[in-house]
Structure 1
Amino acid sequence: NIVDSKHLNAVSRAWRSRSSNMSVLHPTLLLCVYGFFSNLRPSEPFLTAYLMGPDKNLTETQVVSEIYPIWTYSYLVLLFPIFLATDYLCYKPVLILQATSLVVTYVMLLKVQGILAMQFLEFFFGLATAAEVAYFSYIYSVVEPVHYQRVTGYCRSITLFGSAAGSLTGQLLLSVAKVQLLHLVIVTLASAVVAFVAPWFLPMPKRSLFFHKSAEERPAQQQQQQHHGEGGGFRESSEAEARSSGLMEVLRKLFDDFLQCYRSGPLLAWSLWWALATCGYFQVINYAQALWENIRPSQEYEIYNGYVETLSTLLGALAALLVGYLPICWALWGELALCVLSLLMAVCVFVMDTLRQIWLCYSSYILFRATYMLLITVATYQIAASLSMQRYALVFGVNTFIALLLQSLITVVVVDSAGLGLDVFTQFLIYGGYFVAISVVFLLAGLFKLASRRRSEQEALANSQAETESDSPPISDTSSCR
């Protein structure tokens, strides 16, 4: 009987494990299909050339100063509402909304003309970008925590692979097959249509991070109220009140978590770099094509933007993978590393702006993106290491919102025709100076941290010498990094 019982238990565990793996496989596979085809955009590296070419016949000032800024503004305005809607609607509807927005974007890019139409196009693309939060959080609502790391790796890797494959496909079609830029838009639209199909077959989650939680995830106080309530009327009243006050409770909880998270000095430092650097990174990649178009006009020369985007994406992914092998104690040297690498990013931007040689410009862009990918991976790990999943989503959302807010301010002043409307070379000169300022901020922070550590070690040493009866060694919060 004991043998039979053990055998049955083993079979039961194997069956549960197999069922769990199968339940993970279906949504993960569909998400990977969606992530690949939604990021397979052969026209993306050539968007500026397409808009300024004979198909749309727009000027550089119209594209840079009147059309592209709309993406920044719409992304900023939509980010927080989409964040809440994603959780409240349980992810899947927002994924479908994102897929629909991408299809609308590329239909408009293919069919419509004029500045106003292109501005509406940028709004829909901003909506699709803001809805990316649904893609990267859906999987956590349908799989067990033990699978989080693996499925996250799959979903993030496939988006990078899709982006690289799209850029390479666009360049090969342009350089080898000699197709027109309009045909790249058609291929991108076809890819978006394929991606549109996948979310409809995803299972609908029954829980979410904030609004819809399973019974075991609800606060103990709420469970006690339900358990001790007298009669069904009390329980029905409590549930009605919970539904009516659900949004306010979530907002209050988010605000409390916000205050709690940002009281941590290390998290605040990494979040500051995240917001500042992401703002500058968005500006550089958004307007790099306009810079390249000035240096090497697509109407006169063959351009290689697709190869550059492919290589920069793959090297960025490789840099992210190598983070775990870098022999750096980020807790101790993090600020100084951010200083040095932010300065390297500034040098890359200055080289792109001042030397105005297309191959140096391409090379600097690749190095710039790879450096950012490396540092943003470190920042992600440093921030997420001590956070729960709820706070993980909150902190990353807040950091992105601050980055977009700063980017909107820079866009209004520097880029937008309603502001200074500077030419693209002057813009990049400002972006280079912006990264120098980031480097100086973290140089001062790193020097202050080292000085504070040395002072505390000297005080600890003096105390240990004065208290000869104590045999305990000086305490140092960075001893693990030695």
Structure 2
Amino acid sequence: MDCFRTSPSHSWIYPTVILCLFGFFSMMRPSEPFLIPYLSGPDKNLTSSEITNEIFPIWTYSYLVLLLPVFVLTDYVRYKPVIILQGVSFIITWLLLLFGQGVKAMQVVEFFYGMVTATEVAYYAYIYSVVSPEHYQKVSGYCRSITLVAYTAASVLAQLLVSLASLSYFYLNVISLASVSVAFVLSLFLPMPKKSMFFHAKSSKEIRKQPNKNEASDAPYKINTPGGEEKPTSEIPTISGNLDGGPLSSPMPQNVALSVFVQWFQDLKECYSSKRLFYWSLWWAFSTAGFNQVLNYVQILWDYKSPSQSSFVYNGAVEAIATFGGAVAAFAVGYVKVNWDLLGELALAIFSIISAGSLFLMHYTTDIWACYAGYLIFKSSYMLLITIAVFQIAVNLSVERYALVFGMNTFMALVIQTVMTVIVVDQKGLNLPISIQFLVYGSYFAVIAAIFLMRSTYIIYSTKCQKQAQSSPASQNPDEPYPEGPRNIITGTKL
């Protein structure tokens, strides 16, 4: 098929436009803010217990199982096939959502939606393989912004259609199916990349420029990675392709695949050896697990506080405001001048306290508007902090390493979320009612806040001691109790 061949256009504009359009239509799903009213209403007639304890956990489990193999497959097949797979999974999800009946059918829906979320990595990684490094920042901003715009527009449209036109929730899902179908068609027109970050790191023309075997034995040939650093070709496993510039078609040798995994392990070990990056990643994993859990079950809480069958529902408006507020907060981060090395983890602690407080509010209040307000605060706080975390982690990493760290952090978040789901939600665990669940989630974020508050206090105290030591050298002050430098007041070890 012609649509699977590499596009003749080598401009960064064409793939960016197609990818942004795909992102817009894939996120233009007005049915999502009203998923629980749809499932619990006359169309599906499912109980709150069935939705909470039997259906929704399947998404968490399938996402965890699929993420790692999909992450590897995405780079191996060079992104586009996985983006197409995401489009197919979208269509299957909404077809089943429209015409499936019963708990089993909705569990299959959650499995395919797990496939949708697992394949998102291809959308964000694709652009790095088809545009030059000088366009990375600009294009990444376009691709991420368009999804926020689409989600906000879909939420506003859904609220208008439900409140003003009294449109059935069924037809919101019809609109969503039409939108994701357009996204699938658009995915077919994406250019097929000739390279990827790991398995296909070089094009065939670059391979042809390598020195002969005798020269290679003296010194490794070096190329520039997207991160700007030079690496020997021995560290970047590749496959030779057609010399005419066509797609790389040679099968991946087993030893090369193994060398890629070994390189991943070494890179991750080196990245996480930085304490600063490790703690930012730790917050990312734990907070993302809690955030996903809240998003997965918040509509059930809203329906518990104010049943959709007997009252007006404003889920769409709340989601639109929350997404817009989070986007504004994330955008404002770029204009805030803060010493993140010193105060970054204090910010994590403070906003984690705010997140915990908003979840406690959502648990204890009986007013749906107070519950909505708590959600707005919670989502905006998370989107603000995750933007800071992404910046702090990415600032000193190449594109390849950022992809690895992002993938590992997301995987760890899913492991934590799965454990949380099994213990708190699943029928085989505590099987807690929805209102008690949010008490648990609030306590979870309170623990995160306490950990980072202690960590930030230690950093600020250590920095203060170091400055005092520099301004008053031990050699000039014989009364200094620790002439060799500041020490931890608890352990007595050097700071």
Please confirm whether the aligned pair reaches a TM-score higher than 0.5, indicating the same fold: yes
CA distance in 2, matches of 1:42, 1:258: 39
Offset of residue 213 of structure 1 = 1.6
**Cα deviation code 1:46-76 (max 9, x no counterpart):** 1111111111111101001110011111111
Pick from 290, 294, 297: which aligns with 1:284?
294
| Alignment-mate amino acid for residue 346 of structure 1 | A
Aligned match of 1:179? 167
Aligned match of 2:93? 105
Quick check: 1:73 aligned with 2:73?
no
Offset of residue 464 of structure 1 = 6.5
Residues 199 and 21 from structure 1, CA distance in 2 versus in 1: closer, same or farther, beyond 3 angstroms?
closer
Contact 2:86 2:119 survives alignment (8 Å):
yes
| Alignment-mate amino acid for residue 244 of structure 1 | Q
CA distance in 1, matches of 2:277, 2:172: 42
Q: TM-score, normalised by structure 1?
A: 0.88
SS in 1 for 2:184: helix
With 422-431 and 350-359 compared, the bigger mean Cα shift is at 350-359
SS in 1 for 2:44: coil
CA distance in 2, matches of 1:365, 1:264: 34
Aligned match of 1:194? 182
Offset of residue 135 of structure 1 = 0.3
Offset of residue 188 of structure 1 = 0.6
Aligned match of 1:358? 368
Aligned match of 2:462? 452
Aligned match of 1:47? 35
Aligned match of 2:157? 169
CA distance in 2, matches of 1:389, 1:224: 29
Quick check: 1:152 aligned with 2:140?
yes
CA distance in 1, matches of 2:251, 2:410: 33
Pick from 370, 380, 387: which aligns with 1:370?
380
Aligned match of 2:121? 133
Give runs of aligned pairs for residues 296-445 of structure 1, distance below 5 A. Answer: 296-445=306-455
Aligned match of 2:246? none
| Alignment-mate amino acid for residue 419 of structure 1 | G
Q: How many residues align?
A: 443
Residues 218 and 465 from structure 1, CA distance in 2 versus in 1: closer, same or farther, beyond 3 angstroms?
farther
Quick check: 1:95 aligned with 2:83?
yes
CA distance in 2, matches of 1:193, 1:27: 19
Q: TM-score, normalised by structure 2?
A: 0.85
Offset of residue 459 of structure 1 = 3.2
Residues 241 and 37 from structure 1, CA distance in 2 versus in 1: closer, same or farther, beyond 3 angstroms?
closer
Residues 226 and 107 from structure 1, CA distance in 2 versus in 1: closer, same or farther, beyond 3 angstroms?
farther
CA distance in 2, matches of 1:26, 1:354: 51
Offset of residue 184 of structure 1 = 0.6
| Alignment-mate amino acid for residue 372 of structure 2 | Y
Residues 153 and 226 from structure 1, CA distance in 2 versus in 1: closer, same or farther, beyond 3 angstroms?
farther
Residues 259 and 136 from structure 1, CA distance in 2 versus in 1: closer, same or farther, beyond 3 angstroms?
same
Offset of residue 340 of structure 1 = 0.8
Contact 2:361 2:374 survives alignment (8 Å):
yes
**Cα deviation code 1:218-239 (max 9, x no counterpart):** 899x86648558xxxxxxxx97
Residues 404 and 459 from structure 1, CA distance in 2 versus in 1: closer, same or farther, beyond 3 angstroms?
same
Pick from 275, 278, 300: which aligns with 2:285?
275
| Alignment-mate amino acid for residue 269 of structure 1 | Y
| Alignment-mate amino acid for residue 125 of structure 1 | Y
Offset of residue 217 of structure 1 = 11
Residues 105 and 226 from structure 1, CA distance in 2 versus in 1: closer, same or farther, beyond 3 angstroms?
farther
- When the two chains are superposed, the root-mean-square deviation of aligned CA atoms in Å is 2.5
CA distance in 2, matches of 1:281, 1:110: 27
Pick from 20, 25, 29: which aligns with 1:37?
25
SS in 2 for 1:23: coil
With 435-444 and 455-464 compared, the bigger mean Cα shift is at 455-464
Aligned match of 2:49? 61
| Alignment-mate amino acid for residue 119 of structure 1 | Q
Contact 2:194 2:203 survives alignment (8 Å):
no
Give runs of aligned pairs for residues 259-270 of structure 1, distance below 5 A. Answer: 259-270=269-280
Any stretches of 5+ residues in structure 1 without a counterpart?
1-19, 230-237, 469-474, 477-482
**Cα deviation code 1:183-204 (max 9, x no counterpart):** 1111110111111101101110
Quick check: 1:250 aligned with 2:260?
yes
SS in 1 for 2:409: helix
CA distance in 1, matches of 2:26, 2:439: 33
**Cα deviation code 1:25-56 (max 9, x no counterpart):** 11011011100000011110011111111111
**Cα deviation code 1:248-293 (max 9, x no counterpart):** 1111011000100000011011111101111111111111100000
Contact 2:60 2:114 survives alignment (8 Å):
yes
Pick from 1, 7, 13: which aligns with 1:25?
13
Percentage of identical aligned residues: 48
